[in-house]
Amino acid sequence: MDVLYQRCAGLDVSKRDAKACVRITGDRGKTSQEITTWGAMTNEVNRLADYLLAQDVGLVVIEATGDYWRQFYFLLEDKGLNVQLVHAKEARNVPGRKTDVSDAAWLAQLGAHGLLHACLVPPENIRRLRDLTRARTAITDERSREVQRLEKMLEDSGIKLSSIATDITGVSGRAMLQALIEGQNDPAVLADLAKRGMRRKIPALTEALTGRFNEHHAFMARLFLDRVDAHTKDLQRLDARIEEQMKPFSAARELLATVPGISTRTAEVIIAETGADMTVFPTAGHFASWGGTAPGANESAGRVKSTKTRPGNRYLKRALGTAALTVSRSQTTYLGAKYRRIKSRRGPMKALVAVEHSMLISIWHMLTTGECYVDPGPDYYTRRQPLRSKERAVQQLENLGYQVILEPLQRTG
């Protein structure tokens, strides 16, 4: 097997230290290796970088272990070393022979022969944007949990506000909750606080607001509402910061927002997770596979086993899932028609993944060419295969007990 790097280093990192193996291949193929241990503090990592530079290492392979790889990767990269981050699953060592030292040596051996694929590590501006969008997702989830806790507390007090109001923290809901906290227990007075469209539900609200809300419930409600307000303020700060960081990518965001189902916020997540740079993906198929929407390959002895999709970027898949679910309800788009077409044969989950795959393919082409999305239309499959569509329609009518006679439509004018 060819040796691509005569001097290659493998790092097995942990929270406190890292085992470094420098593998040197001689002129006649004879190899030697030196294994050392280095701390994870910044000064120690800088000394490790100087050591690797002195060894004239051509490639440094680091296994992606939690977030501990970041300290080593970025500092070594800043020193001018060629650093490659690899997925732990691809660099798995032989079972029963796994130690930190053997892992470092195994990484160095695989790296020297070029047997590992590098993980995508985006540039610093994209990493900052990722931190912001992922923090927004986490805080949004936590805000939703606080609202759920508030709803459970109201159920305990006999207040069934969530059965009538879609959002118990909306304008009407907040007014009623504030009155309850302040000691107002008259259901009619509370229901009369409804605003706009909620006023049509005053009789139902009067019934729903009849309960046993007491001082303890008032304390808990105030606590949960304060937490909801705190998360809302944090989200506003994040939105402002994201908007500032998105200025260099405003054109890409507007481009992605032309795809049905992809909102501005979803487009921001897609840009943050992919970097909006499609040059790192050779083809649209590579991009779809990296996103975790392409079927897996698992064949042995001519027998095809499970072809379920491989794990992808979970933040990207979550955003794509939301977009696909949104467009699946559309009756006027190609993606909505594709969802219904596949759902009838393969089920809703596979149909959603197929829509996500189509979205990623479109995104790759759009960001590569700079062209806006052009929807083929909901009748795309009918126009592409008119004979099959006609036969299917006739078959459906015959199954219902009708005799079908087809005659060409006489068009006038």
> How confident is the model over 136-156, as pLDDT tens digits?
999 999 999 999 999 999 999
Is residue 369 over pLDDT 70?
Answer: yes
| Separation CA 344–CA 352 (nearest Å) | 12
Tell whether 347 is covered by a domain: yes
Q: How many domains does the chain have?
A: 3
| Separation CA 152–CA 34 (nearest Å) | 60
Tokens of 198: 């909620």
Cβ–Cβ under 8 Å, residues 211 and 129:
no
Cβ–Cβ under 8 Å, residues 2 and 105:
no
Mean pLDDT of 295-312: 79
Mean pLDDT of 406-413: 73
Nearest alpha carbon to residue 80 among 52, 61, 101, 106: 52
Question: With 0-12 CB in 10 A as exposed, 13-18 as middle and 19+ as buried, what is 197?
Answer: exposed
Among 245, 262, 288, the domain boundary falls at 245
Using CA atoms, how far residue 207 sits from 153, 200, 211, in Å, is 18, 14, 9
Is residue 275 over pLDDT 70?
Answer: yes
**357 and 261: one domain?**
yes
Q: Give the pLDDT of residue 397.
A: 87
Tell whether 117 is covered by a domain: no
**370 and 329: one domain?**
yes
Q: Which H/E stretch holds residue 363?
A: helix 348-369
Is residue 95 over pLDDT 80?
Answer: no
Is residue 158 over pLDDT 70?
Answer: yes
**131 and 102: one domain?**
no
**What confidence category does residue 412 fall into, taking pLDDT thresholds of 50, 70 and 90?**
low
**368 and 339: one domain?**
yes
Residue 96, phi-psi category: left (phi > 0), alpha (psi -120 to 50), beta (remainder) = left
**What confidence category does residue 87 fall into, taking pLDDT thresholds of 50, 70 and 90?**
confident
Q: Give the pLDDT of residue 59.
A: 94
Q: Give the pLDDT of residue 94.
A: 66
Work out the number of other CB atoms within 10 angstroms of the CB of residue 6.
16
**What confidence category does residue 224 fall into, taking pLDDT thresholds of 50, 70 and 90?**
very high
**129 and 12: one domain?**
no
User: pTM for the full model?
Assistant: 0.87
Mean pLDDT of 391-413: 82
Among 45, 80, 112, the domain boundary falls at 112
Nearest alpha carbon to residue 62 among 121, 3, 4: 121
Mean pLDDT of 177-202: 93
Tell whether 302 is covered by a domain: no
**220 and 323: one domain?**
no
| Separation CA 314–CA 303 (nearest Å) | 30
Is residue 340 over pLDDT 70?
Answer: yes
Reduce the DSSP state of residue 127 to 3 states and report it: helix
Least confident range from 78-82, 94-98, 298-302, 336-340: namely 94-98
Tell whether 2 is covered by a domain: no
Q: Give the pLDDT of residue 411.
A: 67
| Separation CA 334–CA 397 (nearest Å) | 25
**164 and 265: one domain?**
no
Nearest alpha carbon to residue 329 among 352, 296, 306, 310: 352
Mean pLDDT of 178-192: 93
| Separation CA 93–CA 215 (nearest Å) | 60
Q: What is the CATH number of the domain that holds 31?
A: 3.30.420.10
Q: Which H/E stretch holds residue 7?
A: strand 7-13
**271 and 167: one domain?**
no
Is residue 68 over pLDDT 80?
Answer: yes
Tell whether 119 is covered by a domain: no
**259 and 398: one domain?**
yes
**49 and 146: one domain?**
no
Is residue 413 over pLDDT 60?
Answer: no
Tell whether 408 is covered by a domain: yes
- Tell me which DSSP letter residue 121 carries: -
Mean pLDDT of 44-70: 93
Cβ–Cβ under 8 Å, residues 357 and 369:
no
**156 and 275: one domain?**
no
Q: What is the mean pLDDT of the chain?
A: 91
Domain that holds residue 16: 7-112
Tell whether 301 is covered by a domain: no
Which amino acid does the sequence have at 41? M
Using CA atoms, how far residue 343 sits from 288, 306, 355, 396, in Å, is 20, 20, 11, 18
Q: Give the pLDDT of residue 194.
A: 93
Reduce the DSSP state of residue 18 to 3 states and report it: strand
Q: Give the pLDDT of residue 138.
A: 96
Tell whether 306 is covered by a domain: no
Among 112, 136, 168, the domain boundary falls at 112
| Separation CA 187–CA 176 (nearest Å) | 10
**92 and 180: one domain?**
no
Using CA atoms, how far residue 355 sits from 164, 253, 276, 327, 347, in Å, is 34, 20, 20, 9, 13
Helix axes 314-327, 348-369, angle to 10 degrees: 110
